[in-house]
Structures are given as C-alpha cells and as structure tokens.
Amino acid sequence: MINTRYQQCATSCKSQEVRFEAKEKANEEDVTEAIVDIFHKNRKAYGTRKIKVKLQERGFVVSRRRIGRIMKEHGLVSTYTSDLLLTIH
C-alpha cells in the first residue's frame, strides 16, 4: 500500500514537471514573426483561431488575445473580416 502511494506521487510529480517545461514563454519577436508569416502564407485569410492552431503546431503557446493584439499592432486584418466590414458600412 505504501509503494502504490509513492508510485502515484512519483508519476504525478513527473507529469507536472513535463507540463512545466512545455509552457516555456515564447519570445515576443519570434511569435510576432511567426504570426506575420502564417498570416501572409495563407492569403491573409486566417484569423486568431486558425493562427493559434498553426502556432501550436510550430511549438508556441500563445493566447488568442495576444495573437489579436499583435495582429492589430501590425495592421493584419483577415480578408473575411474586411469583407464583412465593407458590407455593413
């Protein structure tokens, strides 16, 4: 009984250690460069949700809000969004 509790603690501690390593902060410049690259390679059609998925595939952990802020700073607007804005106004 003591061995099983010890084994559970050992595996849970190790899994937390692995999770901590995976959530390493991404460099702002690298993330910005990746976002701009993904946006332009996909015919300016990707928004924050699709860019988030592509960034995860590249190994970045970034929130949609951060992606949106970076896109706004660089004037990146999805073609779908810009078409919608033109028809409403």
Q: What one-character DSSP code corresponds to residue 44?
A: T
The string over 5-22, giving b where at least 16 C-beta atoms fall within 10 Å of a residue's C-beta and e elsewhere, is eeeeeeeeeeeeeeeeee
Rounded distance, CA 85 to CA 81, Å?
6
Q: Which residue ranges of the chain lie beneath pLDDT 70?
A: 1-26, 82-89
The pLDDT of residue 5 is 58
Which pLDDT score, from 0 to 100, does residue 39 have?
98
pTM, entire model: 0.66
pLDDT at position 40 is 97
- Please, what is the Cα angle at 33 between 52 and 75, to 5 degrees? 80
pLDDT of residue 79: 87
pLDDT number for residue 80? 80
Chain segment 25-48, per-residue pLDDT in tens: 668 999 999 999 999 999 999 999
pLDDT of the residue at 31: 97
**Rounded (5°) CA angle 62-9-59:** 20
